[in-house]
Structure 1
Amino acid sequence: MNFRFGQKSLFSTSSRQNNALRALVYHKNGNPAEVMRAQTFEPLGKPGPSQVRVKLLLSPINPADINVIEGVYPDAPILRSDLVPKAGASSSLGYDREKPVFVGGNEAIGVVTDAGTAVQEFKAGDRVIFDKSQLGAWATYQNLEAAQLAKVDEDISDVAAATMRINPPTALLMLRSFTTLQPGDWIIQNGANSAVGQAVIQIAAALGVNTINLVRNRPDINNLMIRLHALGATRVLTYNELADKAMKQEVKKWTNGKSIKLGLNCVGGKDTTTMTGYLGKDAHLVSYGAMSKSPISLPTSYFIFKNLTCHGYWQSKWYNDHSKADRLGVYAEIMDLIRQKKVSYAARVTEP
């Protein structure tokens, strides 16, 4: 889901607010429904010499955003003691408004409305995304360091831009960081209908790589399979079908006996154990999530006789370990894929 911040929304940016800052905030971790509140703050001062003011237009809600608020994610925003509640404004939850707060949200698309005297790389009207994690996306505007931002091309839609920093790069970099995939190769992934999973399908298809995509059974499974095939999925299976002993022979027919070189896991638990059994020799299992909240248990034989290698992947770590030029290069690749219609989005936009 994405929130669009418009003049008719909860996060009004109209002149009637006199540039007051409106944000979704919390001052302690917990259930988002209990600790989050919408709050109006006094206007921020002009951006400093190295800062720009960014009017935030659209921001997604990712599962990790919820985990951050719950306090179970190894990344968190800074506590904002600089935000002053606007006099006479009420919050949507009745607790101490005077405490420093965290501003929720990790990704957003915005437009520069003002720039500090030392800023040369941005000007008013430039569209930008965050180039640093946990800057506080669920707000009407922010004053941010210019070094924390990256420019977005004008032909990239707001929805695509607001969601291009985490999920598509995760898919792209997992596909190329652990093994060399050639056209005609095969990979297998669970959680295939997740945002990352759908990006994997599309990027792999653009590379000529075949995908076996695993999803939970559900009443509308046929419609889901149709949607994933439309994105470029080679095969789609439920976990129940995967567990059928006869399926391994069927998969060998699909691949013409070619080994599956890469497995992508965002689920964990027994379904991941079953999926890993389909990997060939010298394959790589990459885990980037644990939606089932269950550990992965793998037979020792996979490591001894198949030389399986297991990895963890976290996009935030990749960004921290790489230079600004590397990060901008990845954003450019994603924008090219979007521009060529090799990666598309079907997001639901909510005006709160």
Structure 2
Amino acid sequence: MKLSRVASFLTRGPRVYRSPGPEPIRYGAVLTKSNFSVSAVKDNTALLYRKHGEPSQAVQLESLDLPHMGPECVLVKMLAAPINPSDLNMIQGTYAVLPELPAVGGNEGVGQVMEVGERVKTLKVGDWVIPRDAGIGTWRTAAVLKAGDLVTLPKDIPVLSAATLGVNPCTAFRMLTDFEELKPGDTVIQNAANSGVGQAVIQIAAAKGFQTINVIRDRPDLQCVCDRLMALGATHVITEQTLRRPEMKEIFRACPPPKLALNGVGGKSATELLRHLQSGGSMVTYGGMAKQPVTVPVSALIFKDVKIRGFWVTQWKRDNKHDEDALRNMLDELCILIRAGKLAAPACAEVRLQDFRKALEDAMRPYVSTKQVFVM
């Protein structure tokens, strides 16, 4: 059965868009050293960049020899890996952390353990794994990685959910958990609501009983995007223009002013979120798609005593590197939501590694809500 067909069979969420699938694999098959080993993977392919620049031009598809597998390492066959904005920023050379060049692209994805080193006790053949941290390089067919750099996921969740779990849903979960003590009925307001993080915020908030006001840019397919976000559990979906209009008073008659604002845009959009935040509330910035600074009105600080915070999930993972329960408990809770049908992967376009140029170009187009995912 093709991986794309397996994903379709397991996914019970939003519509998934597909391109021609890869070669067939046996879903969940346990492959042992005798039939899949480092020495057998001579044609390992990866999306590599040797210099920073425009992603679709800087990245090349190359064959790589896998290194010798040490006693504390595992051989991982990659199953699927998405293209995230942070991946593009790394290739462009504008991200906060940059790997040494040449580097394999991709910070997120799911793979299956095919072989384990003699000292590895935490992983076994057949396990599904995702990276603990950024910079591993997931856009490849196989990799030899340190066991300590990986964390397991259950194999009873959809492939696309597993491939897209480690960044956006984790970001959404932590922001909804760590900055304000929210109770059922409380309100969260966010911009970039149709982004990967935004869609995860909507679903996790709905599962916890929080109301959400979701701000998106005006666009040609506005009604379609609104309908999709409402289907995910959004309480209100509005445009940036509505955020500045008196109609907001009608919304606040139906729900309390927000305790928490989540900003992935910056610029004027962030300032407007602050205007609607209740006294003592928090605005958490996790992205800056507008590439404009966040301007905080003095009145918001003096008269409303709002808190301005930032969040980067990579830093959270590093800060909690030695707290095994912190990451494990979060992933377990997210997987419970996935199994219950309350947290679905975003709409994805499955593409082959060979079609990387178009995938990278599509990932950078404006008003595109579909996440490009490499399926190996």
TM-score (norm 1): 0.87
Instruction: Tell me, yes or no, if the aligned pair for 1:5 and 1:57 is still in contact at 8 Å.
Output: no
1:204 aligns with 2:205: yes
Partner amino acid, structure 1, of 2:71: P
Q: Is the 8 A contact 2:74 2:113 kept in 1?
A: yes
Q: Does residue 219 of the first structure (1) align with residue 220 of the second (2)?
A: yes
Q: Radius of gyration: which is bigger?
A: 1
Describe how 1:166-315 pairs up with structure 2 within 5 A. 166-244=167-245, 246-255=246-255, 258-315=256-313
Q: Deviations over 1:317-349 (max 9, x none)?
A: 000001233112211111111111110123221
Corresponding residue SS for 2:348? coil
- For 1:271 and 1:43, how far apart are their aligned partners in 2? 46
Residue 51 (structure 2) aligned to one of 20, 23, 28: 28
Partner of residue 73, structure 1: 95
Is the partner of 1:277 in helix, strand or coil?
Answer: helix
Q: State the partner residue of 1:88.
A: none
CA–CA distance in structure 2, aligned partners of residues 350 and 188 of structure 1:
33
Structure 2 unaligned segments of length 5 or more: list them.
1-16, 26-35, 355-376
2:366 alignment partner in structure 1: none
Instruction: Read off the aligned partner of 1:52 and give its amino acid letter.
Output: V
Contact 2:66 2:144 in 1 (8 A): no
Q: Would you say the 8 A contact 2:258–2:277 is kept in 1? A: yes
Structure 1 residue 3: Cα displacement: 10
Residue number in structure 2 paired with 1:125? 126
Could you tell me how far apart the structure 2 residues matched to 1:308 and 1:2 are? 44
- Where do 4+ consecutive residues of structure 1 move more than 3 Å? 1-9
Identity of aligned residues (%): 39
Match of 1:344 in 2: 344
2:319 & 2:18 partners in 1: Cα distance? 28
Distance 2:19 2:88 in 1: 15
Do the aligned residues in 2 keep the contact of 1:109 with 1:129 (CA within 8 Å)? yes
Residues 298, 54 of structure 1: alpha-carbon distance in 2 compared, 3 angstrom cutoff = same
Superposed, 1:34-183 pairs within 5 Å as 34-45=57-68, 47-79=69-101, 101-183=102-184
Change (3 A) 1:2 1:125: farther
Q: Relative contact order: is structure 1 or structure 2 higher (C-alpha 8 Å, sep ≥ 6)?
A: 2
Distance (Å, rounded) in 2 between the aligned partners of 1:125 and 1:3? 27
Give TM-score, length-normalised by structure 2. 0.82
CA distance in 1, matches of 2:248, 2:182: 22
CA distance in 1, matches of 2:295, 2:227: 32
Query: CA shift at 1:19, angstroms?
Result: 2.9
**Conservation of the 8 A alpha-carbon contact between 2:189 and 2:262:** yes
3-state SS, counterpart of residue 316 of structure 1: helix
Change (3 A) 1:197 1:113: same
After superposition, the C-alpha distances for 1:173-192 in whole angstroms (9 at most, x for unaligned) are: 10111111000111100000
Partners of 1:4 and 1:58 within 8 A in 2: no
Match of 1:86 in 2: none
Distance in 2 between residues matched to 1:122 and 1:259, nearest whole Å: 46
**Quick one: which amino acid aligns to residue 76 of structure 1?**
L
Moved more, 320-329 or 201-210: 320-329
How far apart, CA to CA, are the structure 1 residues paired with 2:233 and 2:125?
39
Question: How far did 1:280 drift?
Answer: 0.9
RMSD: 2.3
State whether residues 78 and 102 of structure 1, in contact with CA within 8 Å, keep that contact through their aligned partners in structure 2.
yes
Change beyond 3 A, Cα 1:275–1:2: farther
Q: Measured at CA, do residues 175 and 287 of structure 1 come closer, stay the same or move farther in structure 2, by a change above 3 Å? A: same
Q: For the residues of structure 1 that align with 2:309 and 2:19, how far apart are their CA atoms?
A: 33
Q: Distance in 2 between matches of 1:114 and 1:216?
A: 47
Cα deviation per residue 1:271-324 (whole Å; 9 max; x = unaligned)?
A: 221121011110100000000001111210100000110000000000000123
Conserved? CA contact 2:37–2:114, under 8 Å = no
Q: Aligned pair in 2 of structure 1 residues 4, 294: CA closer, same or farther (>3 Å)?
A: farther
> 1:140-183 CA distances to partner (integer Å, 9 max, x unpaired)?
11111111111111201111111100100110110111111000
Moved more, 173-182 or 320-329: 320-329
